[in-house]
């Protein structure tokens, strides 16, 4: 027991000049996830935008299915599916302008594709062929990040640097609910708020960090409530309502661009598939739970809205599905081709100037490759005999 814990001990109080640095009330998220589809607000939505979102959702679902099949066929080493989370992926990509940056996690290949990246390039890292598979600067998409939440400080750094340079750039960083338990999450949000960096944090709360449910990670009322502790607004949105997610993210991006600082958005969604192809989700969740979320499918929600507004007819549905099949067929055909690989590429683009250790390792590999090439003819000759 310390002195201050003893009964009747002296407890100092702050002087009268103390006051909160920020009024917390405007920063608090809504009590319930924000929704648009199925409400009166949906009537004011732009029809063209809804149809564009619908096309991306349909192609996104097919993309997830095809990538999962390629994993089972051995064409991908691993694939973290975002099936069921397509609304978050698509909305994140479409909320950004061309000059903005997207910072995805390993599950966000669909967001990169929706932003315009070649689907094959988006999967190259997961295939094990290349460091990233695309030029981040060309596409304004940071490398897919496997370590949890380490992309968040990078996003803050880029956004802060852009602001110092006077560049009109906003960074949108995506992370799962599991990533909010990492120290990088805290550091990124703290720096972003103090610097008022033009960055938006999108947390896709899909219920589980692999097999760990959210209740075992945090006792906060919601992940969006964590924003108040850093001095930024927190928004809670239905992550399967693509119109709502797009609206909230667009508003957060606009606010950041205008100098209003960062926003933390929690999108409540659900991971329909297992964590990856190496995960057995039946060990920690029931099929009944999954079926409940299937009733809140993001594609079905938007289809219902479009149908009620007479914006969707069978011909539009058929056209979008045919486009999705063409995309899947092209992805399948190109992923089934073995690309020419140079083992020496392991040392390319690691550093602008190779370290002594890398040069030494490169020479070792070069010698091993040369020895293997010399031994190959003799091995073939012996096999023919």
Residue with token string 């949000």? 189
Strands 234-238 and 212-213: unpaired
E strand or H helix at 103: strand 101-103
Catalytic residue among 107, 140, 163, 275: 275
Of 253, 295, 211, residue with least CA distance to 91: 253
Catalytic residue among 284, 334, 349, 366: 284
8 A C-beta contact, residue 68 and residue 273: yes
User: Residue 275 catalytic?
Assistant: yes
| Angstrom distance (rounded) from CA 206 to CA 238 | 11
8 A C-beta contact, residue 95 and residue 171: no
8 A C-beta contact, residue 271 and residue 207: yes
Residues present in the chain in total: 385
User: Residue 284 catalytic?
Assistant: yes
User: Residue 285 catalytic?
Assistant: no
Return the bridge partners of 171, or none. Answer: 101, 199
Return the bridge partners of 133, or none. Answer: none
Q: Which letter does DSSP use for residue 216 in this model?
A: G
Residues annotated as catalytic are 271, 275, 284
């Amino acid at each position: 027991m310390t002195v201050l814990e003893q009964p009747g001990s002296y407890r100092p109080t702050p002087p009268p000049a103390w006051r909160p640095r920020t009024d917390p009330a405007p920063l608090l998220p809504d009590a319930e996830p924000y929704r648009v589809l199925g409400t009166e607000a949906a009537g004011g939505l732009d029809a063209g935008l809804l149809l564009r979102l619908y096309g991306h959702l349909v192609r996104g679902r097919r993309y997830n299915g095809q990538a999962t099949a390629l994993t089972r066929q051995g064409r991908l080493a691993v694939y973290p599916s975002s099936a069921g989370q397509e609304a978050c992926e698509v909305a994140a990509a479409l909320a950004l302008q061309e000059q903005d940056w997207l910072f995805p996690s390993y599950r966000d290949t669909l967001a990169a594709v929706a932003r315009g990246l070649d689907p094959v390039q988006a999967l190259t890292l997961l295939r094990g062929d290349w460091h990233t598979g695309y030029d981040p600067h060309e596409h304004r998409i940071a490398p897919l990040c496997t370590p949890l939440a380490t992309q968040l400080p990078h996003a803050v750094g880029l956004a802060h640097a852009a602001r110092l340079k006077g560049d009109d750039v906003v960074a949108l960083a995506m992370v799962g609910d599991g990533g909010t338990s990492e120290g990088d999450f805290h550091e990124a949000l703290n720096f972003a708020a103090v610097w008022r960096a033009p960055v938006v944090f999108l947390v896709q709360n899909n219920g589980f960090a692999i097999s760990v449910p959210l209740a075992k990670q945090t006792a906060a009322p919601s992940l969006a409530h964590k924003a108040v502790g850093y001095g930024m607004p927190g928004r809670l949105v239905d992550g399967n309502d693509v119109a709502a997610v797009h609206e909230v993210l667009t508003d957060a991006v606009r606010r950041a661009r205008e100098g209003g600082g960062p926003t933390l958005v929690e999108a409540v969604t659900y991971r329909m598939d297992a964590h990856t192809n190496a995960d057995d989700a039946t060990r920690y969740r029931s099929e009944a739970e999954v079926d409940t979320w299937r009733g809140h499918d993001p594609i079905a929600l938007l289809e219902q809205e479009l149908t009620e507004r007479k914006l969707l007819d069978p011909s539009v549905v058929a056209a979008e599905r045919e486009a999705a099949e063409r995309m899947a067929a092209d992805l399948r055909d190109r992923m089934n081709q073995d690309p020419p690989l140079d083992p020496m590429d392991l040392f390319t683009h690691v550093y602008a100037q190779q370290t002594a250790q890398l040069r030494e390792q490169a020479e070792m590999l070069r010698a091993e490759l040369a020895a293997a090439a010399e031994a190959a003819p003799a091995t073939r000759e012996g096999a023919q005999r």
